[in-house]
Protein backbone atom coordinates (compact mmCIF):
# COMPACT_ATOMS: atom_id res chain seq x y z
CA UNK A 1 0.00 0.00 0.00
CA UNK A 2 1.38 3.35 -0.97
CA UNK A 3 -1.39 5.33 0.70
CA UNK A 4 -1.34 8.20 -1.78
CA UNK A 5 -4.34 10.21 -2.89
CA UNK A 6 -5.24 10.41 -6.56
CA UNK A 7 -7.24 13.44 -7.65
CA UNK A 8 -8.70 14.97 -10.81
CA UNK A 9 -5.17 16.05 -11.77
CA UNK A 10 -3.95 12.45 -12.22
CA UNK A 11 -7.12 11.46 -14.08
CA UNK A 12 -6.62 14.40 -16.46
CA UNK A 13 -3.00 13.34 -16.92
CA UNK A 14 -4.14 9.80 -17.83
CA UNK A 15 -6.53 11.25 -20.43
CA UNK A 16 -3.78 13.55 -21.73
CA UNK A 17 -1.45 10.56 -22.17
CA UNK A 18 -4.14 8.49 -23.87
CA UNK A 19 -5.33 10.89 -26.59
CA UNK A 20 -3.71 13.83 -28.25
CA UNK A 21 -5.71 16.52 -26.47
CA UNK A 22 -4.43 19.55 -24.63
CA UNK A 23 -4.06 19.35 -20.84
CA UNK A 24 -6.90 21.83 -20.54
CA UNK A 25 -9.26 19.85 -22.67
CA UNK A 26 -8.27 16.65 -20.90
CA UNK A 27 -9.24 18.23 -17.59
CA UNK A 28 -12.55 19.41 -19.05
CA UNK A 29 -13.34 15.91 -20.26
CA UNK A 30 -12.73 14.43 -16.81
CA UNK A 31 -15.12 17.04 -15.46
CA UNK A 32 -17.72 16.22 -18.14
CA UNK A 33 -17.57 12.52 -17.30
CA UNK A 34 -18.19 13.22 -13.61
CA UNK A 35 -20.94 15.72 -14.42
CA UNK A 36 -22.75 13.32 -16.75
CA UNK A 37 -22.71 10.64 -14.06
CA UNK A 38 -23.88 13.10 -11.39
CA UNK A 39 -26.69 14.41 -13.65
CA UNK A 40 -27.97 10.90 -14.34
CA UNK A 41 -27.90 10.03 -10.63
CA UNK A 42 -29.64 13.28 -9.65
CA UNK A 43 -32.44 12.23 -12.00
CA UNK A 44 -32.64 8.93 -10.18
CA UNK A 45 -31.05 7.03 -13.04
CA UNK A 46 -28.75 4.10 -12.31
CA UNK A 47 -25.24 4.31 -13.79
CA UNK A 48 -23.51 1.08 -14.82
CA UNK A 49 -19.88 1.14 -15.86
CA UNK A 50 -18.96 -2.31 -17.10
CA UNK A 51 -15.92 -3.90 -15.44
CA UNK A 52 -15.87 -1.09 -12.88
CA UNK A 53 -19.13 -0.98 -10.97
CA UNK A 54 -22.56 0.54 -10.72
CA UNK A 55 -23.97 3.54 -8.91
CA UNK A 56 -27.59 3.54 -7.87
CA UNK A 57 -29.82 5.84 -5.89
CA UNK A 58 -31.75 4.39 -3.01
CA UNK A 59 -34.59 6.12 -1.18
CA UNK A 60 -34.53 5.91 2.58
CA UNK A 61 -37.75 6.40 4.48
CA UNK A 62 -38.18 8.57 7.52
CA UNK A 63 -36.92 7.11 10.79
CA UNK A 64 -36.26 8.19 14.32
CA UNK A 65 -32.59 8.61 15.06
CA UNK A 66 -30.84 9.44 18.29
CA UNK A 67 -28.11 11.86 19.15
CA UNK A 68 -25.55 9.37 20.46
CA UNK A 69 -24.10 11.93 22.87
CA UNK A 70 -27.27 13.18 24.51
CA UNK A 71 -29.70 10.36 23.73
CA UNK A 72 -32.33 12.78 22.44
CA UNK A 73 -34.54 11.48 19.69
CA UNK A 74 -34.15 13.27 16.38
CA UNK A 75 -36.33 12.62 13.34
CA UNK A 76 -34.36 11.70 10.20
CA UNK A 77 -36.24 12.84 7.15
CA UNK A 78 -36.69 10.66 4.07
CA UNK A 79 -33.69 11.10 1.80
CA UNK A 80 -31.93 9.64 -1.21
CA UNK A 81 -28.54 8.02 -0.86
CA UNK A 82 -26.03 6.83 -3.42
CA UNK A 83 -24.89 3.23 -3.36
CA UNK A 84 -21.80 2.02 -5.24
CA UNK A 85 -21.46 -1.66 -6.07
CA UNK A 86 -18.03 -2.66 -7.34
CA UNK A 87 -17.86 -5.14 -10.20
CA UNK A 88 -16.02 -8.43 -9.82
CA UNK A 89 -13.36 -7.18 -12.19
CA UNK A 90 -12.59 -4.27 -9.87
CA UNK A 91 -12.66 -6.44 -6.74
CA UNK A 92 -10.32 -8.97 -8.36
CA UNK A 93 -7.92 -6.22 -9.45
CA UNK A 94 -7.78 -4.95 -5.89
CA UNK A 95 -7.14 -8.41 -4.49
CA UNK A 96 -4.33 -9.11 -6.90
CA UNK A 97 -6.43 -11.51 -9.00
CA UNK A 98 -3.33 -13.73 -9.26
CA UNK A 99 -5.34 -16.94 -9.26
CA UNK A 100 -5.63 -16.50 -5.53
CA UNK A 101 -8.14 -18.98 -4.13
CA UNK A 102 -11.17 -17.14 -2.82
CA UNK A 103 -11.43 -19.20 0.35
CA UNK A 104 -10.43 -22.55 1.71
CA UNK A 105 -12.14 -25.04 3.94
CA UNK A 106 -10.94 -25.51 7.50
CA UNK A 107 -9.11 -28.75 7.95
CA UNK A 108 -8.38 -28.79 4.25
CA UNK A 109 -4.84 -27.59 3.79
CA UNK B 1 -27.06 4.90 -18.05
CA UNK B 2 -24.45 2.40 -19.18
CA UNK B 3 -20.81 3.09 -20.01
CA UNK B 4 -21.78 3.03 -23.67
CA UNK B 5 -24.56 5.59 -23.17
CA UNK B 6 -22.16 7.78 -21.20
CA UNK B 7 -19.76 7.64 -24.16
CA UNK B 8 -22.58 8.52 -26.57
CA UNK B 9 -23.64 11.52 -24.48
CA UNK B 10 -20.06 12.79 -24.26
CA UNK B 11 -19.55 12.29 -27.99
CA UNK B 12 -22.65 14.39 -28.64
CA UNK B 13 -21.28 17.17 -26.45
CA UNK B 14 -17.88 16.98 -28.17
CA UNK B 15 -18.60 16.78 -31.91
CA UNK B 16 -14.92 17.50 -32.69
CA UNK B 17 -13.93 14.14 -31.15
CA UNK B 18 -14.34 10.71 -32.67
CA UNK B 19 -16.55 8.45 -30.59
CA UNK B 20 -13.71 5.93 -30.38
CA UNK B 21 -11.52 8.60 -28.78
CA UNK B 22 -14.26 9.42 -26.27
CA UNK B 23 -14.38 5.71 -25.50
CA UNK B 24 -10.61 5.65 -24.88
CA UNK B 25 -10.94 8.69 -22.62
CA UNK B 26 -13.70 7.17 -20.50
CA UNK B 27 -11.81 3.88 -20.28
CA UNK B 28 -8.60 5.69 -19.31
CA UNK B 29 -10.39 7.43 -16.44
CA UNK B 30 -11.86 4.27 -14.95
CA UNK B 31 -8.62 2.34 -15.52
CA UNK B 32 -6.73 5.03 -13.65
CA UNK B 33 -9.14 4.80 -10.70
CA UNK B 34 -8.87 0.99 -10.77
CA UNK B 35 -5.07 0.97 -10.76
CA UNK B 36 -4.95 3.57 -7.98
CA UNK B 37 -7.19 1.35 -5.84
CA UNK B 38 -5.14 -1.73 -6.75
CA UNK B 39 -2.06 0.09 -5.38
CA UNK B 40 -3.99 0.83 -2.22
CA UNK B 41 -4.32 4.53 -3.04
CA UNK B 42 -7.38 6.61 -2.39
CA UNK B 43 -9.13 8.51 -5.20
CA UNK B 44 -10.66 11.77 -4.10
CA UNK B 45 -12.91 13.68 -6.48
CA UNK B 46 -14.16 16.72 -4.61
CA UNK B 47 -17.87 17.29 -4.96
CA UNK B 48 -18.38 13.86 -6.50
CA UNK B 49 -17.02 11.40 -3.99
CA UNK B 50 -14.05 9.36 -2.87
CA UNK B 51 -13.03 5.78 -3.64
CA UNK B 52 -10.95 3.91 -1.11
CA UNK B 53 -9.99 0.38 -0.20
CA UNK B 54 -10.96 -1.21 3.09
CA UNK B 55 -9.42 -4.31 4.59
CA UNK B 56 -11.59 -7.16 5.72
CA UNK B 57 -9.81 -9.47 8.17
CA UNK B 58 -9.73 -13.21 7.67
CA UNK B 59 -12.65 -14.85 9.41
CA UNK B 60 -14.35 -18.14 9.89
CA UNK B 61 -17.51 -18.17 7.83
CA UNK B 62 -20.10 -20.80 7.26
CA UNK B 63 -21.52 -22.42 4.21
CA UNK B 64 -25.15 -21.39 4.64
CA UNK B 65 -26.39 -24.50 2.90
CA UNK B 66 -24.43 -27.15 4.78
CA UNK B 67 -23.39 -25.27 7.91
CA UNK B 68 -19.75 -26.27 7.38
CA UNK B 69 -17.07 -23.90 8.66
CA UNK B 70 -15.24 -22.18 5.87
CA UNK B 71 -12.07 -20.16 6.24
CA UNK B 72 -12.42 -16.76 4.56
CA UNK B 73 -9.08 -15.14 3.80
CA UNK B 74 -8.27 -11.51 4.46
CA UNK B 75 -9.44 -9.39 1.55
CA UNK B 76 -9.65 -5.81 0.40
CA UNK B 77 -12.86 -4.27 -0.80
CA UNK B 78 -13.46 -1.07 -2.75
CA UNK B 79 -15.56 1.54 -0.99
CA UNK B 80 -17.21 4.72 -2.27
CA UNK B 81 -18.25 7.65 -0.14
CA UNK B 82 -20.52 10.16 -1.84
CA UNK B 83 -19.20 13.72 -1.92
CA UNK B 84 -21.04 16.44 -0.07
CA UNK B 85 -22.13 18.35 -3.16
CA UNK B 86 -23.49 15.26 -4.93
CA UNK B 87 -25.22 14.07 -1.75
CA UNK B 88 -26.95 17.42 -1.46
CA UNK B 89 -27.87 17.38 -5.13
CA UNK B 90 -29.55 14.00 -4.80
CA UNK B 91 -31.84 15.54 -2.23
CA UNK B 92 -32.72 18.77 -3.98
CA UNK B 93 -33.13 18.15 -7.73
CA UNK B 94 -36.28 16.39 -8.94
Facing residue for B25 by CB, picked from A19, A51, A84: A19
Cα–Cα dist B23/B37, whole Å = 21
State the distance between the two ends of chain A, measured CA to CA, in whole angstroms.
28
**C-alpha span between A105 and B60 (Å, rounded):** 9
Half-sphere exposure of B69 (CA within 13 A, CB side): 6
3-state secondary structure (DSSP) of residue A35:
helix
Residue A104 confidence (pLDDT) = 45
Q: Quick: pLDDT tens for B35-81.
A: 999 999 999 999 999 999 999 999 999 999 998 999 999 999 999 99
Q: Measured between CB atoms, which of B29, B49, B72 is closest to A14?
A: B29
- A21: closest CA of chain B, how far (Å): 10
Does residue B43 contact residue B30 with C-beta atoms inside 8 Å?
Answer: no
Query: ipTM of the assembly?
Result: 0.90
Least Cα separation, residue B45 to chain A (angstroms): 6
Interface check for A91 against chain B (CB to CB < 8 A): the answer is: yes
* Dihedral-angle region of residue B47 (phi above 0 means left; psi in -120 to 50 means alpha; beta otherwise): left
Q: Which stretch of DSSP H or E encloses residue B71?
A: strand B69-72
Closest C-alpha to B54, from B77, B87, B22: B77
pLDDT on residue A20: 85
A52 has a chain B CB within 8 A of its CB: yes
Chain B touched by A50 (CB under 8 Å) = yes
- The number of CA neighbours under 13 Å toward the Cβ of B63 is 10
Q: For residues A83 and A51, is the Cβ–Cβ distance under 8 A?
A: no
DSSP bridge pairs for B76: B55
* CA dist., res. A34 & res. A7, Å (int): 12
A34 contacts chain B (CB < 8 A): yes
The tens digit of pLDDT for each residue in A51-107 reads 999 999 999 999 999 999 999 999 998 999 999 999 999 999 999 865 455 444 443
The whole model's pTM is what? 0.86
> What confidence score (pLDDT) does residue A47 get?
98
Give pLDDT tens digits for A15-57.
999 998 999 999 999 999 999 999 999 999 999 999 999 999 9
Per the rule left: phi > 0, alpha: psi between -120 and 50, beta: everything else, A3 is left
Residues of A in contact with B54 (CB under 8 A): none
Amino acid sequence: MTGQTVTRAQLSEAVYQEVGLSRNESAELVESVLNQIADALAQGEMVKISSFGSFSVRSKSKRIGRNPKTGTEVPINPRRVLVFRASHVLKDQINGSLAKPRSGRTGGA
Amino acid sequence: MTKFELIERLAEMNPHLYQRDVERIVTAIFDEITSALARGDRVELRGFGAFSVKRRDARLGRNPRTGDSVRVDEKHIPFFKTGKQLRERLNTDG
